[in-house]
Amino acid sequence: MTDEQLQSAADTLWGRWQRGERIAALPEAVRPKTRAEGYAIQALVERRTARPIAGWKIAATSKAGQAHINVDGPLAGRLLAERAFDSGARLTFGANHMKVAEAEFAFRMAVDLPPRAGEYSVDEVLRSVAALHPAIEVPDSRYDDFTLVGAAQLIADNACAHEFVLGPAAPDSWRSIDLAAHRVHGAVCSAGLPGGPGESLQREGIGANVLGDPRIALAWLVNELSQIGVALRAGQVVTTGTCLTPLPIGPGAEVRMDFGVLGTVGVSFG
């Protein structure tokens, strides 16, 4: 793809995101055919933001998630600082199309991890982590049906990134916990649920739902960025994908994700 084609695709997706609109797919003339082209389009989102990105997200970290959107592996996306919030935030629901909230293990980095020829190991990446946080991702897509467009277009669309909520840092004892076996409880109380005002829905998940272990997912992200020549920076957060079946949300929803000894994180929607 030429620079002009990449920019046109990025402009199309950015405009839809800002206006809460959707398209069936990118026009054929500017449609990425490879993951690399998708990432090249995605990278142009940083020219639109006034602040450095908050970090990165991983989409499709479970077999069920990959099957749902018809991809054969995870996808990386950028978390925009303007759309990242602290626990307890009240967000405008707006024109969200996906209408779900996801419970995620998020890691804040202590040092830069630059691109290199060799892969980073899980242990090496973990030594570069400053803190673990419970988090909520509120994804969305700029496509009418995100299950039909394929990995390259989903990557171009920032891997369905939308809004992100970060909880307080977990105790340092998280390093001695088996995160793969760690259980997470999610609950949503919403006027939009079938039972009406006050209706509640609860679900439970486990860290193993995230590429087998959230720590493995973090290492995957580092190596994915390395392959496309991008550094993971100190201070950036990596949210590693949902560990439970996403909770349905709508205007009026109140969401709480309980990570047990690792803490809780919550968000509500006006």
Tokens coding 227: 């392959």
Mean pLDDT, residues 70-87: 95
**pLDDT score, position 99:** 95
Position 66 confidence tier, pLDDT thresholds 50, 70, 90 = confident
Residue 158, burial from CB neighbour count under 10 angstroms (0-12, 13-18, 19+):
buried
Q: Which of 140, 143, 158, 157 is nearest to 269 (CA)?
A: 140
C-alpha distances in Å from residue 253, one per residue of 32, 96, 227, 256, 257 = 36, 13, 39, 10, 13
Residues paired with residue 126 on neighbouring β-strands, in sequence order: none
Mean model confidence pLDDT for the chain: 95
Per-residue model confidence as pLDDT tens digits over 201-233: 999 999 999 999 999 999 999 999 999 999 999
Mean pLDDT, residues 241-246: 96
Tokens coding 226: 């390395």
Per-residue model confidence as pLDDT tens digits over 6-64: 999 999 999 999 999 999 999 999 999 999 999 999 999 999 998 999 999 999 887 78
pLDDT at position 2 over 90:
yes
CB 54 within 8 A of CB 237: yes
Report the share of the chain in percent with pLDDT over 90. 89
Position 153 confidence tier, pLDDT thresholds 50, 70, 90 = very high
* Element of type H or E holding 204: strand 200-206
Q: What CATH number is associated with residue 182?
A: 3.90.850.10
Tally of domains within the chain = 1
Domain that holds residue 242: 3-269
Mean pLDDT, residues 183-192: 87
Q: What is the pTM of this model?
A: 0.95
pLDDT at position 192 over 60:
no
**pLDDT score, position 69:** 84
**Could you tell me which residues come within 8 angstroms of residue 55 by beta carbon, excluding any fewer than 6 positions away?**
78, 79, 84, 106, 108, 236, 237, 238, 239
- Beta-strand relationship, 129-138 and 163-166: antiparallel
